[in-house]
Amino acid sequence: MEDAPVTEVIARLEDQTWKVLSNSGKDFLPFLSSDCMMAMPYGMQLSAVSLPNIEEVMTSDAFVPWKSYRMDDVVVTPVGSGGAVINYRVKATRPDPEGRESTFRALVASVWRKDSKSGAWQMCFHQQTPYDHTPEDLI
């Protein structure tokens, strides 16, 4: 993957994060930088030092894996030689507390940076902004 253009590398990595989140939150943690920040729905801000912190949320018994997901309108923009921003729409499903399928739609943005020591790409910021309607519905 190292020889691929950064836009392809980041798109694949972001897709992999959704794949692992279809299994467990714990599997998501290796993708994150130690100083990763997340701005999640309902005003939840997560980091290594937030209460709760990212690891606590991802390893909690309350974590519910995604059943399915689809990323659309994916755009990756390199930022310098060791960073990139990815932006896209996601439609994902998972069971709600009553066991019924729940659909989540969001505009998502993540920032990835290349670790200077290992050379591995790590997510250092992630935001999900839920929406009920597509832009086409509003026109």
pLDDT at 48 over 70: yes
Q: Give the pLDDT of residue 124.
A: 98
* Residue scoring higher pLDDT (46 or 2): 46
Amino acid at 130: P
User: What distances in angstroms separate CA 52 from CA 45, 71, 128, 133, one per listed residue?
Assistant: 9, 28, 18, 30
Two structure tokens written together for 41: 């729905």
Q: What is the mean pLDDT of residues 77-97?
A: 95
pLDDT at 65 over 60: yes
Q: Give the pLDDT of residue 136.
A: 63
CATH 3.20.20.140 fits 6-138, yes or no: no
Q: Give the pLDDT of residue 73.
A: 96
Q: With bands split at pLDDT 50, 70 and 90, how would you rate the model's confidence at 67?
A: very high
pLDDT at 17 over 90: yes
